[in-house]
């Protein structure tokens, strides 16, 4: 990573550490996840930090329901998942956080591209952005370390200000992704 003059302090920090800090700054206290290899360092940071209430849900849908409830009750939350998990969500996103205007934030570890080895992952990954676009759901892809803080900060800010759900996608360009060894 080339040190950026604008963010000298961020250059030596990991994407997961930056995300964790921005979540805290925005008072996000609940983190639910269906785990994924690439998300492991972020899940570890969150689980190790008493600030967060964090636990695994059995399905991504369930996690969206839990965070929808907690957000309405005053506890901001995030749902962590993998691309394949996102693909199970179109109905609940449309009929719960979108129409009820509940700012549920999703963070998706992107599989299926830039070196994918699993045909199923590659096939389902292509549905993700078209689904987000057709839902009218704000989404951004994190691909550079020096942009992580800005994009996560502004996405959360907008979600809470406009009461709109949002999705952040973690590109293999940022995380390294998962490849066959």
Partner 1 sequence: MTTASQERPIGPGNAQVMNRFEITKRLVAKLPGEEAVIGGIGNTNFDLWCAGQRPQNFYMLGSMGLAVPIALGVALAQPQRHVVALEGDGSLLMQLGCLATIAMLKPKNLTIVVMDNQSYQITGTQPTATAFGADLVTIARGCGLTQCEWAADEDMFDALIERSLSGDGPCFIAARIDTKPGVGHTDRDPPRITDRFMQGLGTKQ
Going residue by residue from 34 to 73, which x/- string records binding to partner 1, judged by CB under 8 A? -------------------x-xxxxx-xxxxxxxxxxxxx
161 binds partner 1 (CB under 8 A): no
Q: How far is the CB of 46 from partner 1 (least distance, A)?
A: 15
How far is residue 92's CA from residue 77's CA, in Å, rounded to a whole number? 16
Do residues 49 and 97 make contact, with C-beta atoms less than 8 angstroms apart?
A: no
Do residues 66 and 25 make contact, with C-beta atoms less than 8 angstroms apart?
A: no
Kindly state the number of chain residues that form the binding site for partner 1, as judged by CB under 8 A: 32
E-strand stretches of the chain:
28-33, 53-56, 76-82, 105-109, 138-142, 166-170
Q: How far is the CB of 141 from partner 1 (least distance, A)?
A: 26
Q: How far is the CB of 169 from partner 1 (least distance, A)?
A: 22
Nearer to partner 1 by Cβ, of 132 and 142: the residue is 132
Distances (CA, A) of 180 to 78, 115, 117, 140: 29, 9, 7, 27
Q: Which stretch binds partner 1 (CB under 8 A): 1-9, 89-97, 127-135, 149-157?
A: 89-97
Nearer to partner 1 by Cβ, of 50 and 58: the residue is 58
Cα torsion 22, 26, 28, 34: sign: negative
Q: Which residues bind partner 1 (CB under 8 A)?
A: 30, 53, 55-59, 61-75, 77, 91-92, 94-96, 99-102
């Amino acid at each position: 990573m080339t040190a950026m003059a604008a963010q000298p302090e961020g250059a030596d920090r990991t994407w997961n550490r930056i995300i964790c800090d921005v979540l805290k700054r925005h008072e996000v206290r609940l983190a639910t996840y269906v785990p994924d290899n690439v998300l492991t360092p972020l899940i570890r940071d969150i689980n190790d930090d008493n600030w967060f209430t964090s636990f695994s849900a059995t399905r991504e849908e369930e996690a969206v329901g839990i965070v929808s409830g907690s957000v309405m009750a005053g506890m901001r939350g995030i749902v962590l998942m993998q691309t394949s998990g996102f693909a199970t969500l179109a109905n609940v996103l449309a009929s719960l956080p979108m129409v009820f205007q509940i700012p549920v934030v999703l963070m998706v570890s992107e599989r299926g591209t830039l070196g994918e080895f699993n045909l199923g992952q590659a096939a389902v990954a292509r549905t993700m952005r078209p689904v987000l676009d057709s839902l009218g759901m704000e989404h951004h892809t994190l691909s550079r370390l020096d942009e992580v803080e800005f994009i996560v900060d502004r996405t959360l800010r907008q979600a809470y200000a406009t009461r709109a759900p949002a999705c952040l996608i973690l590109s293999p360009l940022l995380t390294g992704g998962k490849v066959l060894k």
